[in-house]
Structure 1
Amino acid sequence: MSALMNFTSRWKQKVKADVRSPKADLKVALDECVAALDLFLSNRFEDALTKLQSKAKDSMYHSLTYATILEMQAMMTFEPEDITVAGNTMKDAQIICQKFRKKTTVTDSINSLMNRHAAEKFTEEEMHAEVCYAECLLQRAALTFLQDENMISFIKGSIKIRNSYQTYKELLNVVQSSSYTKGENYSHLEGGVQLGIGAFNLTISLLPTRILRLLEFVGFSGNKEYGLEQLQEGASTENFRALLCTMLLLCYHTFMSFVLGTGEGDVDDAERLLLPFLKRYPKGAIFLFFAGRIEEIRGNIDAAILRFEECCEAQQHWKQFHHMCYWELMWCFTFKRQWKMAYFYADLLCKENSWSKSTYMYMKAAYLSMLGDEDYKPFGDDEIELFRKVPSMKQKIAGKSLPTEKFAIRKARRYLSQNPIKLPVPALEMMYIWNGYTVIGKHQDLTEGMLETLDEAERTLENGPVTEFLIDDQCLVKLLKGLCLKHLDKLSEAEQYFHWIHTKEQMIKYDHYLIPNALLEHGLICMQTGRNDEAIKILESAKQNYKNYSMESRTHFRIQAALLKAKSRTHNGKQSLPSTP
């Protein structure tokens, strides 16, 4: 059983104090905040917030925990309103934490914390105030990236929180120092440092090389393994931040490694982290959701569907958690090629969720377009009319459009003409944007079924008229077919498809993103067959020679993840050894 849960089960037995010292206040605050987290994890969301809100203007931990719960909601729902509220509340928490920090002058800054004697001048409460203040900055930066995954936005956010990063580094030196006197609540302080150091190292390590160089110039550095190690230690220790360390690890293994990488998160580790929480909170919506995601990644789509449905049934208060499940259910039925069921969940999202109405409308139209002419169209909708609505539903979050929304709008413009030329497989194309082929690749039947659909689309293109979109459409279908063949271990055939796309580079008119992505997939096959030097050359070409294409940031993240893997193998002398498919 997790150390955090042992802690939550004993919170009621904690110290009683009529006369409060700062230490007692700190301990009581931590106990109350852990109790509020216990309510939150039991689906008693409003009770948790109510418990915290009454002291949020006076206590740094109540304020931070209150803002953290709102941020967790925003991180899982992507609702613009949730993101704004969470950001403002976290900013308020930062102001509260500032009140508890050591009053310093310009010359006597927090940087003096590095000094052995200066550290002794900080009270326990002031040390906690430092880590809470740094955590506020860290979480505000996470919200900045959530609003826009553009790398430039991430750089701006990162530079703004340089103080957070430096504070964590300095606090790490202090807590590791043999001369530092550990207070009664030391484990919570150490957990806060592990959360910050782990989050920074893990996140920065994922960034493309050119961004890393800039960040290193201003004092940042990232080591993925060290970051994961710090988070693991924080998750396994009895401390207030154990839950956040666990949540960040679960997000990395089940989402970040897929959306911003090549889909190589440690699912077994994610399950190990999750199981104790599922045992204690069997109806906890958050944990049921992650359980569904783990089943989905493993290719156990039917089991995943049951978990997501169970998550929806577990609570009715925060509908936003239902929307997360709807999104995953939409993809689960996409993997099974059950277009009407996928359409059903896209329609629910379009009606109930405001993250990206354009994307949801696009997906509704995409699923209808996958149906045959003889199939009944749900609700009497027509895909051409739905596609035409997509551009008008564009919205901006923090003044910027979402990359996925921009992609959907650009693709839907094809239907604005009087006699539109159909997109060949729009649902399967968007599935690639979200790295869904890595999921179906775990299940041979699903992959073979998807290949059948793509073969049919290819025949339709071959037998149809020559249009201005033909080469683009052929390249798209061959890219997706290549992915299916790769996962069916037909690597030579897959490689030929990716190479064919590259030969058509000068003929592509609109979907320029296909070239760097075909090179990425080609590089991954080279790596899989032990040709690391060739893989690095191809991946470097994809990174250096192409820009200003759709979903560029996401592709660069994936290229960076592949390059790190290839260079690591070369460095370890394994370039001649093929990997397991």
Structure 2
Amino acid sequence: MDLQTAIQETQCALNLVLNNKFSQALDLLKPWWKDSMYHALGYSSILVMQATMTFEQRDIQAAMATIKETLQTCQRFRKRNSVVGSLSSLISKQTNLQEEEMHAELCYAECLLQKATLTFVQDENMISFIKGGIKIRTSYQIYKDCQNLLSTAQGVTEQSDLFRQFEGGVKLGIGSFNLTFDVIGFVLLCSHPGFDFGCFSGCISSGIHHSLLLGSYYFSEGKSGKGLNLFIGNVKLIVHVKTAETFLDFSEHVCFPEHPIIVRPFWSQTCLFRFLPSCHCGVLQARARYEECISSQQEWKQIHHLCYWELMWNHSFQQEWQQAYRYADLLCRESRWSKAIYVYQKAAILSMMSAEELERTGEDLGALFRSVEGLKQRLAGKSIPMEKFAVRKSRRYKASNPVPLVIPALEMMYVWNGFSIVGKRADLTESLLVTIERVEQQLQNDPNPTEYHPDDSCLVQMLKGLCLKYLGRFLQAELCFSQVLSSEGRIRYDHYLVPFTLYELGLLQKQQGDFIKATTYIERAKMNYKDYSMESRLHFRIHAALNSLKGSPVSTP
């Protein structure tokens, strides 16, 4: 099979994936996957995607065996001598064999990235983490060599379609590496909060820059047959921006450039494109998009789980706890990603219901909270910070006389950056404020306060301050945050509340234009506190906030 035909057939398989025909895509690629580098790359990519979504050992093992075969297939097309030597000689002569060698380097580098991903998923210990890091480094070096080749070929006016495909692949690879490097950096920070993360600050903007270069490149200018790299680049871009906005709260500090998403007619029905842009819709509009995504295909149920998670939050934002419970329960029963978080989230939602509503569900709230600790996992030899947080909060139900959590679903809403979404709707924010003030009144009237009373009161004040901030009632918000800070000495368990409140108080001052006070509060949160829950997550947010306060976005290194 010639190289051009291989790329075209792989594009056809990708189109089948975009039309939710996953099995047909594999059937198209399978006959050639041991003889053609692009067929092999496409075949392994689909299996790797499936394995990372299911977390089933049989899927992981099948994908790992396939990726090893794919590397061998790509290796047969690579130059025997060093990478630099094999590529630098291709400028003067552009034969098919030389072009195959160029594309073989790209396919081999992409396969190494996929194998690194599987290495992390297959065995969650530090040795696997190091092995995966070595594969990523090797992949990056290949992409850099390919990039050097492009820089030396800029003066060549007549370039074949295959060379332009190669150019797009290089840009996609460099962007993918920067985004992958950012994720690895975040994992390191989760394991080692004291790690210097200044070196990671530009990876997001650098990766997006390269993805945008790809999106505005040759493929988007009427050459409709060259969309292989374009689609992959856009999907990676959307996924990463969504992750950063949802989990790291970069949206307030990093100015993501506008990115034109090129959606062809046959892409519009794919479950991926129905799911990904929904984060930018209104609450009700997003709900319809997620439901359409679920109904659009039944082959890969794991994509449904992404939608269940979003629908759970969508209903939680509107305090529709019965509907939110439905999706939380589905995640607990069907998804393998993080049982501890799913069970805790489900229990937190049940905690928001009335006694009658809870009884109708037939759930044992205490038993759910007590089961969380036994579901905890480890990644690279370390516990996952969010699971550690869920386990610690659940321990209030392990005692002989359990003390119920107060508004735990709203606390988790804050942890997952939900208040920044609700804050765009004044009616939803007002509704949350009513719920919070009702709990505040109950705590104030409690005749027998427990040892957790100061912690619960501070949590309520912090969340109340957030609602008031988004409603534009800045003075009242500042009073709530100040009340948390003045109660610092009485907090016994939820020590994370003080540094997070300082951070929020800093953002409040920034919103009012007082950058000096804002920097002071955020620096206090950074320098004066350590060893509290979700410390790494806050440090990431602090780093982004301080960069924005300097008057410039996070820069590319």
Could you tell me which residue of structure 1 aligns to residue 275 of structure 2?
289
2:550 aligned with 1:547: no
Could you tell me which residue of structure 2 aligns to residue 322 of structure 1?
304
User: SS of the counterpart of 1:546?
Assistant: coil
Could you tell me which residue of structure 1 aligns to residue 343 of structure 2?
361
Could you tell me which residue of structure 1 aligns to residue 112 of structure 2?
137
Distance 2:546 2:277 in 1: 30
Structural RMSD (CA): 3.5
Match 2:545 to one of 555, 562, 566? 562
Query: Which AA in structure 2 matches 1:484?
Result: C
User: Which stretch of the first structure deviates more once superposed, 554-563 or 139-148?
Assistant: 139-148
Aligned pair in 2 of structure 1 residues 546, 326: CA closer, same or farther (>3 Å)? Answer: same
User: SS of the counterpart of 1:123?
Assistant: helix
TM-score, structure 2 length as denominator? 0.85
Q: Deviations over 1:430-477 (max 9, x none)?
A: 111211111111111111111111111222222223222122212222
2:440 aligned with 1:458: yes
Distance 2:126 2:478 in 1: 30
Aligned pair in 2 of structure 1 residues 142, 507: CA closer, same or farther (>3 Å)? Answer: farther
Query: Which AA in structure 2 matches 1:125?
Result: E
Distance 2:22 2:59 in 1: 14
Deviation at 1:349, TM superposition (A): 1.1
Deviation at 1:510, TM superposition (A): 1.8
Aligned length: 534
Please give the residue correspondences for 1:182-581 in structure 2 after superposition, counting only pairs within 5 Å: 182-202=159-179, 204=181, 222=202, 224-236=204-216, 237=219, 238-264=226-252, 269=258, 272-273=260-261, 276-277=263-264, 279-295=265-281, 300-396=282-378, 401-464=383-446, 465-569=448-552
Distance 2:4 2:314 in 1: 45
Deviation at 1:389, TM superposition (A): 2.0
User: SS of the counterpart of 1:421?
Assistant: coil
Query: Which AA in structure 2 matches 1:390?
Result: V
2:47 aligned with 1:70: yes
Identity of aligned residues (%): 46
2:143 aligned with 1:168: yes
User: Which stretch of the first structure deviates more once superposed, 402-411 or 140-149?
Assistant: 140-149
Distance 2:512 2:56 in 1: 42
Is the contact between residue 144 and residue 154 of structure 1 (CA under 8 Å) also seen in structure 2?
Answer: yes
Q: Deviations over 1:149-184 (max 9, x none)?
A: 999998885465222223222322211323568444
Deviation at 1:117, TM superposition (A): 5.3
Distance 2:419 2:119 in 1: 29
Aligned pair in 2 of structure 1 residues 273, 402: CA closer, same or farther (>3 Å)? Answer: same
Deviation at 1:381, TM superposition (A): 1.3
Deviation at 1:559, TM superposition (A): 2.1
User: SS of the counterpart of 1:185?
Assistant: helix
- Note the residue ranges of structure 1 that are not aligned, 5 or more in a row: 1-19, 573-581
Q: Deviations over 1:181-206 (max 9, x none)?
A: 84441222112211122233455568
Query: Which AA in structure 1 matches 2:210?
Result: Q
Distance 1:336 1:186 in 2: 52
Deviation at 1:311, TM superposition (A): 1.2
Aligned pair in 2 of structure 1 residues 87, 426: CA closer, same or farther (>3 Å)? Answer: farther
Is the contact between residue 125 and residue 379 of structure 2 (CA under 8 Å) also seen in structure 1?
Answer: no
Distance 2:26 2:424 in 1: 40
Deviation at 1:232, TM superposition (A): 1.5
Aligned pair in 2 of structure 1 residues 273, 571: CA closer, same or farther (>3 Å)? Answer: closer
Aligned pair in 2 of structure 1 residues 192, 341: CA closer, same or farther (>3 Å)? Answer: same
Deviation at 1:124, TM superposition (A): 1.3
Could you tell me which residue of structure 1 aligns to residue 70 of structure 2?
93
Distance 2:466 2:114 in 1: 36
Deviation at 1:214, TM superposition (A): 7.4
Aligned pair in 2 of structure 1 residues 287, 379: CA closer, same or farther (>3 Å)? Answer: same
Could you tell me which residue of structure 1 aligns to residue 223 of structure 2?
none
Deviation at 1:244, TM superposition (A): 1.2
Query: Which AA in structure 2 matches 1:294?
Result: H
Is the contact between residue 174 and residue 207 of structure 2 (CA under 8 Å) also seen in structure 1?
Answer: yes
- Note the residue ranges of structure 2 that are not aligned, 5 or more in a row: 220-225
Deviation at 1:374, TM superposition (A): 4.1
Could you tell me which residue of structure 1 aligns to residue 103 of structure 2?
128
Could you tell me which residue of structure 2 aligns to residue 578 of structure 1?
none
Aligned pair in 2 of structure 1 residues 53, 169: CA closer, same or farther (>3 Å)? Answer: same
Could you tell me which residue of structure 2 aligns to residue 110 of structure 1?
83
User: SS of the counterpart of 1:138?
Assistant: helix
Is the contact between residue 204 and residue 221 of structure 1 (CA under 8 Å) also seen in structure 2?
Answer: no
Aligned pair in 2 of structure 1 residues 166, 447: CA closer, same or farther (>3 Å)? Answer: same
Query: Which AA in structure 2 matches 1:394?
Result: K
Aligned pair in 2 of structure 1 residues 511, 456: CA closer, same or farther (>3 Å)? Answer: same
Is the contact between residue 328 and residue 342 of structure 2 (CA under 8 Å) also seen in structure 1?
Answer: yes
Distance 1:401 1:81 in 2: 24
Distance 2:58 2:542 in 1: 32
Aligned pair in 2 of structure 1 residues 446, 86: CA closer, same or farther (>3 Å)? Answer: farther
Deviation at 1:400, TM superposition (A): 5.0
Query: Which AA in structure 2 matches 1:554?
Result: R
Aligned pair in 2 of structure 1 residues 449, 140: CA closer, same or farther (>3 Å)? Answer: farther
Query: Which AA in structure 1 matches 2:476?
Result: E
Query: Which AA in structure 2 matches 1:58?
Result: D
Distance 2:22 2:553 in 1: 49
Q: Deviations over 1:354-379 (max 9, x none)?
A: 21222222122111111123435343
User: SS of the counterpart of 2:251?
Assistant: coil
Is the contact between residue 125 and residue 381 of structure 2 (CA under 8 Å) also seen in structure 1?
Answer: no
Query: Which AA in structure 2 matches 1:411?
Result: K
Could you tell me which residue of structure 1 aligns to residue 12 of structure 2?
35
Is the contact between residue 143 and residue 174 of structure 2 (CA under 8 Å) also seen in structure 1?
Answer: yes
Is the contact between residue 54 and residue 336 of structure 2 (CA under 8 Å) also seen in structure 1?
Answer: no
User: SS of the counterpart of 2:32?
Assistant: coil
Is the contact between residue 267 and residue 294 of structure 1 (CA under 8 Å) also seen in structure 2?
Answer: no
User: SS of the counterpart of 2:462?
Assistant: helix
Higher relative contact order (CA 8 A, sep 6+): 2
Aligned pair in 2 of structure 1 residues 502, 53: CA closer, same or farther (>3 Å)? Answer: farther
Deviation at 1:568, TM superposition (A): 3.5
User: SS of the counterpart of 2:436?
Assistant: helix
Deviation at 1:337, TM superposition (A): 0.1
Query: Which AA in structure 2 matches 1:321?
Result: I
User: SS of the counterpart of 2:493?
Assistant: coil
Distance 1:145 1:419 in 2: 41
Distance 2:168 2:41 in 1: 15
Distance 1:565 1:539 in 2: 12
